[in-house]
Amino acid sequence: MEKKTIVSVSADPLSIDVLTSQVASEQCGAIATFLGTTRDHFNGKKVLQLDYEGYIPMAEKKLLEICEEARQRWDVMHISVHHRIGTVPLGQSSVEIAVSSVHRREALKAVEFCIDEIKSRVPIWKKEVYEDGSMWKENTEWMESGVRTACSCGHKS
């Protein structure tokens, strides 16, 4: 069976059911998933929503690179990674990852690797909107990677 890698960056709401169906295989005994959702607070402030901006062609290229690196490290069958841009309301997902493998360990490790690398390497920027204003957020992982760039609004991360 041919191994599939599916990535996308779009403003459309995400569906973990879609991702799990994309990676399902009768040859696999495990599907590991991760959903990154908008929470209602950060550092004592009430969060109303998250707004994401990104350079889609480069973001999708980086997602594919990350998936390929995960394949080189672990024996996984299919990988599906979707990241949302635009406004993401409370409780909705901004990033979803699904990985299938014969055994659970490989899929779990690949999912953890993928989310860590997405946060450190993919050119997508997050703004938290609070009751009393908003601010662009720097990913700790991005800062630690030494990568510096600017988003379309001029924000430097």
What are the tens digits of pLDDT across the range 5-64? 999 999 999 999 999 999 999 999 999 999 999 999 999 999 999 999 999 999 999 999
27: Cβ–Cβ under 8 A, 6 or more apart, which residues?
A: 1, 77, 102
How confident is residue 156, by pLDDT bands cut at 50, 70 and 90? very low
Sign of CA dihedral 152, 153, 154, 157: negative
pLDDT digit string, tens, across residues 77-130? 999 999 999 999 999 999 999 999 999 999 999 999 999 999 999 999 999 999
Q: What is the pLDDT of residue 155?
A: 41
Q: Tell me if 40 sits within 8 A of 46, measured CB to CB.
A: yes
Residue with tokens 């990677």: 145
Q: CA-to-CA distance for 72 and 34, rounded, in angstroms?
A: 20
Q: Supply the pLDDT for residue 137.
A: 81
Entry pTM = 0.88
The gap from C-alpha 47 to its chain's centroid, in whole angstroms, comes to: 20
